[in-house]
């Protein structure tokens, strides 16, 4: 009789586990965010003779926060922070440590060859991160893997000639560990040259490619087209720099992502950034494009997008009253009410292009 009970228990547990896993993998129709708070990092913050800034990506895992720096001095690095907040307020932030990526010989990576943009925990020991490269110097955009205990770093190699046409400073910016943990999703910030032109204030006729790299197969096995928005703010002068790109990506279930777009137009002072968060879905009719060498003159169905948040709508709730160059996002710990948090960070570009800030913004989500 005891064996029968054990057998029944195992069966029930298996069914419940399957149901819970299946439920968690289902598409969601919407995502509601509730603003918790903002924390501005002191612009004079330094650690181990490095200026803390240029934070282009952020991630959280097992109580640890890491944020990657795309600064061009003091070698390619990331910072560990301690962020604290409750259901209603962002209560504190402490910079704990800085670590430098190293090659197999233990030598710090040459900062002139990397432009770090996104960082993700694979597990307690391994992070995966992206570099936009230095395209104008023939240094390619890359995905890399680092042991955070030794800082030893390896390139994730895959041969795909389409990325040879990546635009300068618009390479692999968005990166996410797959929901299954069996691979990674990533994308260039702007369209590849063979796929079309980057967005302008009047046109957005060229998509980018969101790609899936399979760990076991060691290659890219899936690609989908993602249509960026047009530039949000009209340039005041014809030649004023303008950009809109995909800056962060989170794979949240089998068929859906959170995608973060940041538009910037010069000439608006500190108000030149427009940042939008979308819920993005792979549908049955979404076109698989992995075998298309070019997307020009192709009839394709891109991923669908649903606006979740235009950051302009929370500007007055911020102590800074400013939406800066937000480039990183991640899920954080659960709150006391069981809801997950969603955290964003801005890259202040070390104030090379004007008065900018490093801001951390926290939200409560309706996801448990």
Tell me the pLDDT band of 16, cut-offs 50, 70 and 90.
very low
Whether residue 15 is contained in a domain is answered as: no
**DSSP-derived secondary structure letter, 171:** S
Q: For residues 62 and 124, is the Cβ–Cβ distance under 8 A? A: yes
Residue 4 has pLDDT above 80, yes or no: no
| pTM recorded for the entire structure | 0.92
pLDDT at position 247: 98
Which of 163, 129, 161 lies closest to 148, judged by CA?
129
Whether residue 18 is contained in a domain is answered as: no
Residue 285 has pLDDT above 80, yes or no: yes
Whether residue 208 is contained in a domain is answered as: yes
DSSP secondary structure, 69-102, as one string: E--SSS-SEEEEEEEEE-SS-EEEEEEEEEEE-B
CA separation, residue 86 to residues 68, 326, 338, 341 (Å): 24, 22, 12, 10
pLDDT at position 14: 39
25-29, 50-54, 86-90: least confidently modelled range: 25-29
Instruction: Kindly report the CATH number assigned to the domain that includes residue 335.
Output: 2.115.10
pLDDT at position 10: 40
Whether residue 5 is contained in a domain is answered as: no
DSSP secondary structure, 120-139, as one string: EESSSSEEEEEE--BGGGTB
Number of structural domains the chain divides into:
1
Whether residue 3 is contained in a domain is answered as: no
Residue 1 has pLDDT above 90, yes or no: no
pLDDT at position 25: 57
Q: What is the mean pLDDT of residues 342-352?
A: 93
Residue 224 has pLDDT above 90, yes or no: yes
Q: Which residue's entry shows tokens 């612009």?
A: 43
Whether residue 339 is contained in a domain is answered as: yes
Residue 271 has pLDDT above 80, yes or no: yes
Burial label for 242, CB within 10 Å (0-12, 13-18, 19+), is buried
Whether residue 186 is contained in a domain is answered as: yes
* Residue % of the chain over a pLDDT of 70: 92
Whether residue 249 is contained in a domain is answered as: yes
Q: How far apart are the first and last CA of the chain?
A: 38
CA separation, residue 178 to residues 102, 181, 366 (Å): 25, 5, 21
Domain with 229, as residue range(s), is 29-365
**DSSP-derived secondary structure letter, 242:** E
pLDDT at position 17: 38
């Amino acid at each position: 009789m005891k064996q029968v009970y054990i057998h029944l228990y195992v069966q029930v547990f298996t069914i419940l586990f399957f149901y819970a896993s299946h439920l968690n993998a289902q598409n969601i129709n919407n995502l509601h965010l509730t603003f918790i708070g903002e924390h501005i990092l002191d612009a004079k913050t330094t650690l181990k003779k490095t200026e803390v800034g240029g934070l282009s990506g952020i991630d959280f895992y097992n109580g640890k926060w890491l944020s990657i720096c795309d600064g061009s001095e003091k070698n390619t690095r990331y910072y560990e922070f301690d962020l604290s907040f409750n259901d209603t307020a962002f209560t504190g932030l402490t910079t704990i440590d800085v670590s430098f990526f190293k090659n197999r010989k233990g030598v710090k990576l040459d900062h002139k060859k990397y432009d770090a943009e996104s960082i993700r925990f694979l597990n307690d020991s391994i992070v995966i991160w992206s570099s936009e490269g230095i395209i104008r110097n023939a240094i390619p955009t890359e995905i890399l893997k680092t042991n955070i205990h030794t800082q030893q770093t390896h390139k994730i190699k895959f041969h795909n000639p389409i990325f040879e046409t990546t635009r300068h400073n618009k390479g692999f910016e968005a990166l996410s560990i797959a929901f299954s943990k069996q691979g990674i999703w990533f994308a260039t910030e702007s369209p590849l040259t063979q796929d079309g032109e980057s967005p302008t204030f009047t046109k957005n006729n060229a998509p980018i490619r969101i790609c899936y790299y399979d760990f076991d197969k060691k290659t890219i096995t899936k690609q989908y087209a993602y249509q960026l928005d047009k530039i949000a703010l009209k340039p005041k002068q014809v030649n004023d720099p303008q950009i809109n790109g995909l800056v962060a990506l989170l794979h949240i279930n089998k068929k859906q992502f959170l995608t973060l777009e940041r538009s910037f137009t010069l000439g608006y002072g500190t108000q030149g950034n427009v940042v939008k968060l979308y819920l993005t879905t792979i549908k049955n009719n979404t076109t698989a494009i992995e075998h298309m060498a070019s997307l020009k003159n192709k009839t394709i169905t891109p991923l669908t997008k649903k606006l979740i948040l235009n950051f302009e709508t929370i500007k007055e709730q911020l102590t800074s009253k400013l939406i800066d160059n937000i480039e990183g996002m991640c899920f954080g710990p659960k709150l006391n009410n069981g809801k997950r948090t969603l955290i964003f960070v801005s890259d202040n570009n070390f104030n090379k292009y004007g008065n900018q800030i490093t801001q951390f913004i926290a939200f409560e989500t309706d996801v448990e």
